[in-house]
Amino acid sequence: MKKSNAWLILVVAFTFSSLCAAQTQGDESENPRWFNVDSLNTGLGEVPEEANRVTPRETMRSFLDLTEQGEYEKAAHMLNLSELSAAEQREQGQELARQLAEVFKRGERISVDNLSGREDAVIEDPAGQNPRVGETRRNLELASLRADGQTYDIRLARYRVGDDEPVWLIMPISVSYIPVLYDQYGPSMLEQYIPERLQSSFGILRLWEWLAIPVFLLFVGMVGWGIHRLIGLMSNWLPFGAFRMFAEQIGMPTALIVMSLFTQMLLDYVVSFSAVATTTFRVLLIGILAWGAGTIALRFVDTLMLRMTRRLVGEIDDNKPKDERKLLTSLYALRRIIILITVTGMSVYILGQVQLFETMGLSILASASVLAVLVGVAGQAVLGNILASFQLSFAKPIRIGDLVIFEDQWCYVEGIFYTYIRLRTWDERRLIVPVTYFTSKPFQNLSVKSIKMYRYVELTLHLSADIGLIRDKFFEFAKEEDNVIEHHKLLCYVTAQTATAQTVTCYLMTSDPMAGWTAEMHVREKLMAFIRDNHPEWWPRDVVVISHQDVARGAKVKHSSEADNAEGKASE
């Protein structure tokens, strides 16, 4: 407790004194290349030969090399301890250097090669994309770390004492943050029991980490397996139905979420690995967490859609109320939104964690813009289909279950997905149509307002057919059909005529298009059967001319012809 209070007092003293010192230095010197100071680390003694502090790169290389060798007293020369007295500098300098080294190992690994190798840290940009190219700097950021919900920057600055050569040191305000960051990123309680010989580095990790990480992953995997088995057993207790199906589908994503949270807890309170391993773990954990949460949300929406399909929509047709089909269409849109948000959020977080653009330089921005153009051109069809599917889902010119006539085919809309629409034809075939192709073609939506539909029966009959009798029979047969509605709208008229026949058209209102087609067939069959059985003479007949004589001239012509024939015979 006393130790914590002492560190708290030290942090407060560092903060206020550094602010005052920064203001004083700003007043004393407007030199953009360095900060002029009266003295530097007088309590540490002579600067060792191993401490190269001419450039930011050499300062951090020297610090990391010395702390790796355990030479913390020498590494303290890379810290600006001017806010401490001479006695405190010698006493606390090496401890602060050790703590900062541990913070760099676990919090954020410093890439020395990315630091400036020039004395003036001038901004260099061979690509010419940075508007600040050629600008001299006297301080720059090494790392930005979060602890207790606050962000703390570790910065290097260039200092000059009198006529001495300027040197690069970690700024006093950043030195004051070291105890706070060490409490967050320092060794865990478990590391206190690790032998010293296993603390040495081997590659990018320490020896004990190469042994501990597989055991760590195995332990976390066993926890996840246990959660998965537990959810499987619990799902067997549920009655058959949508809830049981939902429980059976979320076993794996729930196990992954629990594994992610459990691993995060272990990293925070039990064990802390090096920065490379910790950053990798955290990026993977947030990806697994986002994927698990998104999968559970998708499974929930899928269960609702399946339940609605079975209970409300059934075979996906337009017999059900419009609101139910509209809700199912909205659920399809919600499913795509969940996928889009999950993928986008996870991608943004991962890019932010790995700090891609900061580590690879501003020149990547130009490459990224070129890449974005290439991806946009290459994926234009896919992106166009995705945007068109969202437009269909929200504008709803078609809904799940609507009956449409697309390219002269009667189809039910079975699903609206990211890049395609699935249509079910009347003969149970499935048409997979790209969304942009579907929206670019005219189509008839027979369910957009009402599923009622006029149907008509055409009969071609002889001119002698009794239209009144046919009309009465049509009314009788139509009223016998259950799917024929609004009987007051039944109509029967002669709509066309030729020299030998007439066309009789009978109109009937039906409850829906497919039922109307069936009713039309039934009425036509009954009318044809009535005419065939009772008035076969009403069928149209072709007139065959068996003589080229003008029959319109009657008997005189006939007698004249007979007389002519008699005269011919007499003359013979």
Mean pLDDT of 492-499: 91
Looking at domain 382-449, its CATH class is mainly beta
**Beta strands in 148-263, from DSSP E residues, in sequence order:** 150-161, 167-170, 201-202, 205-206
CATH number of the structural domain 453-535: 3.30.70.100
Where does the pLDDT of residue 58 fall: very low under 50, low under 70, confident under 90, or very high at 90 and above? Answer: very high
Describe the crossing of helices 363-378 and 380-395 by its angle, rounded to 10 degrees: 70
- Pick the most confident of 90-94, 123-127, 355-359, 393-397: 90-94
Contacts of 211 (CB under 8 A, 6+ apart): 198
CA distance 26 to 198: 47
Q: Which of 211-220, 355-364, 411-420, 439-448 has the lowest mean pLDDT?
A: 355-364
Angle at 275 between CA 271 and CA 281, to 5 degrees: 65
CA distance 547 to 313: 67
The confidence score (pLDDT) of residue 366 equals 46
Where does the pLDDT of residue 55 fall: very low under 50, low under 70, confident under 90, or very high at 90 and above? Answer: very high
The confidence score (pLDDT) of residue 103 equals 85
CA distance 427 to 435: 22
The confidence score (pLDDT) of residue 2 equals 39
Q: Reduced to 3 states, what is the DSSP secondary structure of residue 430? A: strand
Q: Which of 107-116, 290-299, 319-328 has the lowest mean pLDDT?
A: 319-328
Q: Which residue has the higher pLDDT, 73 or 4?
A: 73
Task: Reply yes or no on whether the pLDDT at 537 is more than 60.
Answer: yes
CA distance 475 to 507: 10
The confidence score (pLDDT) of residue 557 equals 47
State which H helix or E strand residue 247 sits in: helix 242-249
Pairing mode, strands 484-485 and 150-161: unpaired
Q: Which residue has the higher pLDDT, 366 or 190?
A: 190
Pairing mode, strands 150-161 and 35-37: parallel
Percent of the chain with pLDDT over 70: 69
Where does the pLDDT of residue 293 fall: very low under 50, low under 70, confident under 90, or very high at 90 and above? Answer: confident
CA distance 298 to 118: 53
Task: Reply yes or no on whether the pLDDT at 6 is more than 70.
Answer: no
Where does the pLDDT of residue 362 fall: very low under 50, low under 70, confident under 90, or very high at 90 and above? Answer: very low
Q: Which amino acid is at 83?
A: E
The confidence score (pLDDT) of residue 551 equals 52
Task: Reply yes or no on whether the pLDDT at 507 is more than 90.
Answer: yes
Partners of 143 in beta bridges: 154
The confidence score (pLDDT) of residue 571 equals 45
Where does the pLDDT of residue 545 fall: very low under 50, low under 70, confident under 90, or very high at 90 and above? Answer: low
Angle at 550 between CA 548 and CA 552, to 5 degrees: 145
The confidence score (pLDDT) of residue 314 equals 46
Mean pLDDT of 309-319: 52
Q: Which of 14-23, 126-135, 345-354, 560-569 has the lowest mean pLDDT?
A: 14-23
Task: Reply yes or no on whether the pLDDT at 378 is more than 60.
Answer: no
Q: What is the pLDDT of residues 198-242, one digit of tens each?
A: 766 677 677 777 878 888 889 888 988 988 888 888 888 877 776
Pull the structure tokens for residue 402. Answer: 């609507």
Task: Reply yes or no on whether the pLDDT at 448 is more than 80.
Answer: no
Q: Reduced to 3 states, what is the DSSP secondary structure of residue 399? A: coil
The confidence score (pLDDT) of residue 568 equals 47
> What mean pLDDT, rounded, does the chain reach?
76
Q: pTM of whole model > 0.75?
A: no
Mean pLDDT of 164-185: 90
Q: Which residue has the higher pLDDT, 331 or 439?
A: 439
Q: What is the pLDDT of residues 16-53, one digit of tens each?
A: 444 444 444 444 446 778 899 988 888 888 888 888 89
DSSP conformational letter for 309: I
Domain ranges of the chain: 35-186, 205-313+327-358, 382-449, 453-535
Q: Which residue has the higher pLDDT, 324 or 472?
A: 472
Where does the pLDDT of residue 570 fall: very low under 50, low under 70, confident under 90, or very high at 90 and above? Answer: very low
Q: Which residues of 544-572 are buried (b: 16+ CB within 10 A; e: fewer)?
A: eeeeeeeeeeeeeeeeeeeeeeeeeeeee
Q: Which residue has the higher pLDDT, 346 or 51?
A: 51
Q: Residue ranges of the alpha helices (H) in 107-141?
A: none
Task: Reply yes or no on whether the pLDDT at 326 is more than 70.
Answer: no
Q: Are 36 and 163 in contact (CB under 8 A)?
A: no
CA distance 120 to 122: 5
Percent of the chain with pLDDT over 90: 16
Residue tagged 């075939």 (tokens):
429
Is 284 buried (19+), middle (13-18) or exposed (0-12) by CB count in 10 A?
Answer: middle
The confidence score (pLDDT) of residue 384 equals 65
Q: What is the pLDDT of residues 471-486, one digit of tens each?
A: 999 999 999 988 888 8
Task: Reply yes or no on whether the pLDDT at 354 is more than 80.
Answer: no
Q: What is the pLDDT of residues 232-248, one digit of tens each?
A: 888 888 777 767 778 88
Where does the pLDDT of residue 549 fall: very low under 50, low under 70, confident under 90, or very high at 90 and above? Answer: low
